[in-house]
Amino acid sequence: MKSIFSKSNKSNLKDTARSNRRAITFIFCLLISIFIWLLMSLSKEYTIAVSFPVKYTNLPHDRLIVNRLPEAIDIEIKSTGFNLLFYKLKQHRETVLLDIKDAQPTFTKNNYFINCNKRLDKITGQFSDAIKVVHIKPDTVFINYNKKITKTVPVRANLKLDFEQQYQQTDSVVLEPQFVEVSGTAEDLAKILFVETAPLNLEKINKNIALKLNLLKPKNMKQVEYSFNNVMIKLKVTKFTEAEVDLPIEVEHLPNGLNLKTFPDKVSVKYQVAYDDYGKINPSDFKIAVDYLKIENGSNKLKVQVIQSPPQVRAIKLGNEKVEFIIRK
């Protein structure tokens, strides 16, 4: 009994192997047939429509295009299936160039058009020899011009500055360049009085700043052009300290024969100065005074004024803003 079952199992295994070989042979032959059919099909010529991005060349320097031009055009191209499959699968297609010099005038002033299908030879020349351009959609691209004018406006820095303790800027912010040429339509330029930089927020500043900032373009004015797109921002920063000095109060415009005495006769003057300039400050460079001509009837006080101070100091504060006085002959 065992030998009968053993012979039966061996026979079944042989039949199964034979069936598997037949199936593999069939699939192999099928794949070869499909491959040959695919080669034959792809070698034939077909026509398909493909969308291509557009770039416009030879734009006029003295005029602006004020209407929106198509950013892409649909082109029917004819070639073998191999080439067309490549264009269908390609994610980043080459840009097609349209020459503004090919534009023809319409009956309306400053309006022109480009008949794309009359320029098939020019556009076909931008592809490989294996590609033929059959048709372009849209057939016509319309162009509306407006006269371009230019004016010069100042640049303004849009800065928010926060300095580290005891640090301050030693001078105003320097812009290089300070002016920019703006080009556009007369209507747009009438609204532009200055050009602003991109906003910048700087915190805990403790050293000189030098960096580039882009210039912002006004909203809804895409046709506006700048002679440059960024400026250099320079800011000098140094460490300051506070100093104090007692100075005598002088009297201005005092008539001859009169003597005006103030109480007190000296005033404390506090000021800020850069560390590097601290030793350069001389008390004689200050002049603190009251003005006889500013005496008010019924008042025995005069305002103390800083008449003169060294150029290196800032944030001057007087210990007394007003002083009492008496006049003697």
CB 173 within 8 A of CB 159: yes
pTM for the structure as a whole: 0.58
Q: How far apart are CA 264 and CA 249, in angstroms?
A: 8
Q: Per-residue pLDDT tens for 103-112?
A: 898 888 889 9
DSSP result, 120-177 = HHHHHTTS-TT-EEEEEESSEEEEEEEE-EEEEEEEE--EEEEEPTTEEESSPPEEES
* Residue-wise pLDDT tens digits, 146-166: 888 899 999 999 999 999 988
CA distances from 9 to 1, 152, 183 (A): 13, 99, 93
Terminal Cα-to-Cα distance of the chain (whole angstroms)? 156
210 CB contacts (<8 Å, ≥6 apart)? 232, 233, 234, 235
> Which residue, 109, 127, 115, is CA-closest to 50?
127
Closest CA to 313 of 281, 267, 268: 281
Look at residue 19 in the predicted model and tell me its pLDDT: 64
Question: Percentage of residues in the chain with pLDDT exceeding 70?
Answer: 82
Residue 5 confidence (pLDDT): 47
| pLDDT in the model for residue 233 | 94
Distance CA 66, CA 291 (A): 64
Position 47 pLDDT exceeds 90: no
Sorting pLDDT into bands at 50, 70 and 90, what band is 129?
A: confident
Q: Residue 81: what pLDDT?
A: 65
